[in-house]
Chain A
Amino acid sequence: GENVEQHPSTLSVQEGDSAVIKCTYSDSASNYFPWYKQELGKRPQLIIDIRSNVGEKKDQRIAVTLNKTAKHFSLHITETQPEDSAVYFCAASGYSTLTFGKGTMLLVSP
């Protein structure tokens, strides 16, 4: 089955800095890669996703890049703000279920 590794487990940045979270996956058949944000005590919510026919996707301050050859994808957050503090999960799927990484706790200090 699919295996998704996510790094780092914790990331601390100063407000205004950039943050990068990286994930690798094992199944070359995976073709959908979403990112979820989970604030403390709340449900995970989709923030951005990318499909295998696209190398990069941007939405305001967040972007995701995908390297299918290397089987890794990354989340980039620019100009971080305190409200970006949360746990971020990457995931991968082929034509069945989502497999999630273990999460990255992002702490943005004012």
Chain B
Amino acid sequence: DGGITQSPKYLFRKEGQNVTLSCEQNLNHDAMYWYRQDPGQGLRLIYYSQIVNDFQKGDIAEGYSVSREKKESFPLTVTSAQKNPTAFYLCASQAGANTEAFFGQGTRLTVV
């Protein structure tokens, strides 16, 4: 079953802790993206990667880090430096520029 999978679906973090969100795709897509979704804010780009071992900062990269060691995987780490991490995080992949973006089901992160 082809697609893009995020885990976990829900994640709770204590203040001061780093957490890592998983994103895996088996669509053979080169490009992968992380978005943050807050009510009334749309989808804001955190980081993206257009090829293995390379990634670029998006509009709101501060307090986040990523890696792209494999084509299939693009994990996002929310660090303790992120001031307001509670949000819904969406991972996406595209075969190339100006093609359909496929989204994962999202991870809802809550700081407790």
Chain B residue, CB-CB nearest to A103? B42
> Which of A31, A46, A95, A100 is the one whose CB lies under 8 Å from B100?
A46
Across-interface contacts of A89 in B (CB, < 8 A): 42-43
B48 at the interface (CB under 8 A from A): yes
A103 to B90 CA separation, bound complex (whole angstroms): 15
Residues of B in contact, count (CB < 8 Å): 20
A34 to B94 CA separation, bound complex (whole angstroms): 13
Across-interface contacts of B45 in A (CB, < 8 A): 97-99
Q: Which residues of A contact B (CB under 8 A)?
A: 1, 6, 9, 31-32, 34, 36, 42-46, 49, 51, 89, 93, 95-103
Q: Can you sample 28 A-B contacts with CB below 8 Å?
A: A6-B42, A9-B40, A31-B98, A32-B98, A36-B101, A42-B105, A43-B104, A43-B105, A44-B43, A46-B100, A51-B98, A89-B42, A93-B97, A95-B97, A96-B97, A97-B33, A97-B45, A97-B48, A97-B58, A98-B33, A99-B45, A100-B35, A100-B42, A100-B43, A100-B44, A101-B42, A102-B40, A102-B42
Q: Which residues of B contact A (CB under 8 A)?
A: 33, 35, 40-45, 48, 58-59, 90, 97-98, 100-101, 103-106
